[in-house]
Amino acid sequence: MHLIYLKILFFSLLLDTFISSHTNIPRINNVTPKNVAINISPVVPIPDVITLDYIKENLEQIRLIKDIIIKGKLKKLKVLKKKM
């Protein structure tokens, strides 16, 4: 019984070695920078020094966005209350 297991083990190892030795694995990377598509999106320049004015502008933008979101939610609630 052990002899059969050993034969199966050796057969599977040899078969695996045979299959892996005949597969074509490329050894050279054929991708050149010319073939690669590069998607570069424009990035807003980061200020070197974050000033108080820069922070105030960002806070104002955040407040405006927050107000728009709250107004939208209030409109939805009013519409739902009117339907009920």
Could you report the per-residue pLDDT of 5-38, keeping only the tens digit for each? 888 888 887 777 777 666 666 666 666 666 566 6
Which residue has better confidence, 2 or 28? Answer: 2
Distance separating alpha carbons of residues 48 and 61, to the nearest angstrom: 20
* pTM (2 d.p.): 0.38
DSSP assignments along 30-52, one per residue: ---TTTS-------PPPPSS--H
Q: Are 47 and 54 in contact (CB under 8 A)?
A: yes
pLDDT score, position 66: 94
**pLDDT at res. 1:** 78
**What is the model's pLDDT at position 61?**
94
The string of pLDDT tens digits covering residues 25-81 is 666 666 666 656 666 666 777 666 778 888 899 999 999 999 999 999 988 888 777
- Delimit the domains of the chain by residue range: 51-84
